[in-house]
Structure 1
Amino acid sequence: MNRSISVDFRLVSASLRELDRLIHEQGFREDLYYRINGMRVVIAPLRERQDIPELIKKLLQQLSPNEPKQLSSEAMRAVAGYRWPGNVRQLQQALKVAAILGADSPCIEIDHFSPDLQQVLRPCISQSAPSTLQAIEWDVIQNTLRQYNGNMSATAKA
């Protein structure tokens, strides 16, 4: 028995390729492109974003809302300096592993990341010295927090 069923849906698709160019090179069907191209949203890769510290803070908050974690200043410099070919999903997964491996500490260090990621993060530390007032402020806060063993009240007073 065959019968028609009405459906109401919206197609959302993503591509890392330049479909305009592929159409021109006959690598993508033009008619299909115009069927799916309702609105184009270009999302900047993670390596081009300027809000990485804020994004990390938000991701860590989502990972452990009851016991907030933060990155050490060294880890923040390394993470901010890394290219992140897997974009936000890769960063999110890396933070999840680091939060688990650093469960005993409120501050995530580079040693808490997976060994393969540590190898690519360590060179990023020297390449990405703090250059903005916000980055310098972040370093001072992180170092003071470590000095007071994670005690936020003592850190705030200092």
Structure 2
Amino acid sequence: MFYRLNGLSVRMPALRERTDMPELVASVLQSLVRGRSKRLDADAMALVMSHHWPGNVRELHQVLRAAIALSGGSEIVRREHFDDCWVATAIGTPALEAPRALGQSTVMADVQNELIHRTLAQLSGNRSQAARALGISRATLYRKLARHNRG
């Protein structure tokens, strides 16, 4: 005989409902930089705070991870380090739609490839540092580079 026990239900508020967003952003940022010194400038923080956040904490992680990677060695993450499409969404400007002939996976692969190449350029081609900055393994980085070079 099996019984289902529901001892505790936890409701997590959506990011847009949270009252502790500055603290959450700082906490996520520190967890991503692993002891290095990084912070958002006032404009970047205002941008993050103004976003509607339809997603959850994973969305915040991904947005900050990409901005950190694009900030390179700079201690300050600025507005220009954030993805242009995300910035357009955050400030309420409709982002350009991808042509219908291109599949979603193709568009995402192109964006991902652009991020990888920009990160590599900022880190003088150092693939180990780029993989670390992007939060992926070196093997994954090599696989993504090889896949892009084939296609």
**1:78 has 2:64 as partner:** no
| 1:113–1:106 distance in 2 versus 1, CA, 3 Å | same
Q: Percent identity, aligned pairs only?
A: 38
Q: Distance between the aligned counterparts of 2:25 and 2:9, measured in 1?
A: 26
Q: CA deviation at 1:65?
A: 2.3
2:84 to 115, 137, 141: 115
| 1:73–1:123 distance in 2 versus 1, CA, 3 Å | farther
Matching residue's letter, 1:79? V
Matching residue's letter, 2:80? D
Unaligned ranges ≥5, structure 2: 94-151
Task: Indicate conservation of the 8 Å contact 2:50/2:91, yes or no.
Answer: no
Query: Secondary structure of the residue that 2:7 maps to in structure 1?
Result: coil
Unaligned ranges ≥5, structure 1: 1-33, 125-158
Corresponding residue number in structure 2 for 1:59 = 28
Task: Indicate conservation of the 8 Å contact 1:61/1:69, yes or no.
Answer: yes
Superposed CA RMSD in Å reads 1.9
Query: Secondary structure of the residue that 2:36 maps to in structure 1?
Result: coil
Post-superposition CA distance 1:99-126 (Å, at most 9, x none): 00001311111211112112122349xx
Q: Distance between the aligned counterparts of 1:80 and 1:56, measured in 2?
A: 9
Matching residue's letter, 1:66? G
Q: Distance between the aligned counterparts of 2:73 and 2:90, measured in 1?
A: 22
Could you state the TM-score of these two structures normalised by the residue count of structure 2? 0.55
Q: Distance between the aligned counterparts of 1:76 and 1:52, measured in 2?
A: 10
Name which one, 1 or 2, has greater alpha-carbon Rg. Answer: 1
**1:38 has 2:30 as partner:** no
Ranges of 4+ aligned residues in structure 1 off by more than 2 Å: 34-38, 121-124
Matching residue's letter, 2:58? R
Corresponding residue number in structure 1 for 2:69 = 100
Count of residue pairs the alignment pairs up: 91
Could you state the TM-score of these two structures normalised by the residue count of structure 1? 0.52
